[in-house]
Chain A
């Protein structure tokens, strides 16, 4: 490790050609690039290293489904892993590989030059899917000093511990835990990942992000898919991330490896302990966890101990014995003491390494060693107090001042210390302190970052507090300024709060909200904001907006809306009046975004439209997001006449997003495809809609590998359901439910539709309890996610329809009566589904009570619904409305009319393969379909529908002996004359009636025979033996 790809494809300048070799055997493969064998090899291979003319990277295949491989290029750039899409297996050519190499190397250059730039003033500036730069020092074991006491027996025990799942190194501060681990690290052949924890890591997302980042120092691909789930703005549920991570680790490297979590005692969050417990219990056998802490972590240690899975190193083992103390004082501290003195010191310090080190420092350069020893052992003073005073008082005043002033810092760096102390040459000072063993630990190999030994830092801070309390605010303020200048906003805020400098702290939050979210500090900042007086926050509009964003990014949408309201109310506090309009529109944009996901489409679209109209200069991501939300107005009007052209033109540009993909771009891109697919569905173009969903999955696979979008799962699942492909539909819809916990969000109304389809699907299997459970699950989800009333009203109608389907008319009627809907309403498209269910209930009532007003109510409502749907070319709606009309006519006994309407539906629905549209109407539609079949209306299609409805097979459509509605005597007479070839005029004369009457009779005959012309009528009459 790092795991090298098994193959190497390299450009050889000498031979002016590319060669492909198997790394393990240095064996050259005789495969000509882009030959048939080449693609066959690509099909088999999982990864290879490419060393082209334009640069090198690792190419890796990610299979979304069997038989389809997508290749990606990975290359490390500083702390960041760059990823680029190469193409499908069939597209991997030398030219393409070189193109990618070229693109990656220029991207790498810009990335390295740019460092971390921040953009301010972007309300919905997208947090990157890639990780925000991590603090590399946390992933780095502290550097070993050159001289150390060899502790072979302990190192051996650590190595031995690799046989079990967990090793616990638990002892108070100053017992040399970290040093021991570093010693083991330098001798072991086991690859080891390292993570030093800090109090900020109590945020589970941040903890896991760093944990995975630590693992990736061994293999850059380890845990990559779980890392993607943790990306802001909406990190996935922890449980989901853990499951993915455990799977990832299972597929990880075959050899043993270890993960060290240093300073685990700073972790207090119960969720993190649970997380770790889960990981310990699901660890693949190759991974060993080493926890280093001052206190035992709340993990199931007893269980692990009983299973022999736990190795423990505790105070008893870590104490220096007499022999080790002797070596330490002699070799490390350079002292020559008598064995008696060594024993005395060891006894007085009880083998506490820090105590010995302080003793050694006090003794250095002293003539009267035994004098000090006598006084020291004779004293009851705390070892640390006694000796540190000895040590500090012997330092020059400048060193003492440096130590005290920089003790406010949790990490030290030359320029940072310069800023805090107001003096120069801090770097030299740090290096000198390190050489002098003065409790300074180097955190990286470049000697850029240091920290004080924790114990020593506590001591210094206590002294500072005691001796120079007035200096502290300034020290913290200077540290805060340095950190802000270096874009380390979390630390800048930390020191601003410690100063305390409230104005500065608030300004940092206002200006760097997104940065704080990237750094996984959203929760920490929110709890700080919560500790401020409410009145203070309310009078700072930008702070309100920042807090709302933080709440949004931590999934607390309801509270976010309240804060946005405060922001609006307090906008007048803004310093400059001309900022107010822009600010209000920023607030409106965030409101629109939240309401969009909560399913309040009407308000959301209105707010987005307002921002589009008024906010002329918007950052690009905000513009796209607001434009897109505003475009959802078609889902309010239901007018799908013109939308297609617009949406399609958007797609290609969205597809070309191939570089560093931003979450917000991704949101805009995927949501616009989803909108397109939903519109196609409304237009009744199911096949095009399905193709669009597939297109979406493909676009997404290019960016996110295995992640599925809930919108894709639900959307395609609904189509599969319509096509009666119940197994595939169930799989997709259930998958949709599952990935809802993931980082990709979906608007509440789309979620509601997905759940509805799943409920109907279970109902189709006669699993009413499961169907109801799905509805209840949605209601619960709506509660957790604070959905708007609209999707809940929709689901209320779904529940009523489920009752109707299982024959519980009473319950359905109760819903209809309480729904607030009325037959006299002017239906509004967003509520169309509810109205249609209302109509179904009324028709069912009409069947029971044909003399009641129900059917006519239903028909009136359907008439209005139909004219709206037809005017706006919403074919999907048109078909459903017509179908219900047919059922209403049939319930009235008007079979001919019913069949005629049904025929319209069948002709339109057949090309798109609609099935559940019909079948879900139950027994009444089966009766009607049988009649259609008998009458020869699209018989093949009808046969499919009937079989889907579980109706027994029918004979081939042969003329039946009777008509549904027999011809009257008078009509038979007319028919006879008609067949005989008489004109209407002649028939009128023959029967002594007017021509108009004849025409009426003929129309009625045509209707009953389901024919359009005289010839057809004649044929039909003959077939049916009517004459």
Chain B
């Protein structure tokens, strides 16, 4: 089996390094960062933290080098999905392409370039420490499901099985929208609040008025999910409260807050923006999510001033 990971940042590296340990899988890692690619080809792809792994994927920044693959795993930031799949689609003309990205709309973007798309939601997380070396912060499950009827379920199972055997537990389900929307609602209701206020997850949940705003955002997301017949696999409210515990993620700075502090473009259009877009398509009003999206885009716009 040949698998190409497209976008080998923290999450992509977790998949690429672990999968490359399997005897029966040949892993390619496609990334535009030349220094990262060179380090991987020279020293291997090292993970440390939640697991110690040195994988040996074949890395490249040249999409033309990718052989025909059975699977793609797209792990870029959501705003880079389109150029990433446009460059690599040729490698997947007979394969399936899974997204393990954040947010809504990645599947639609992939489906414009490739035939068989797998919807994926993943919870493991980490950060790139230096070229060729990723810190693995938390382990977690991945859920895969066919995007539409063109994707054979047996292929989804094959990918989930490979990931599971590689130490990245994954399951195949017929409708993977539940976990996806649960994660999107969680992220859209908390990450931008952290980004706009500068508060950690625990601090923002402690403020009752702010926690009520989070619930307002969650409720809009739930209504949009329900209008599409999506059953969430867990209540985002419970996950938010759980994460606020001192022994879980009280001190965690949301990735969007880290993005804002580093003045990196955020995934707001794919989180709150996605909820607003799907809400509009299904006649569900989402004024709070729209307001939060506009504010965070305002933050991004402020960086290009003066």
A is bound by B: no
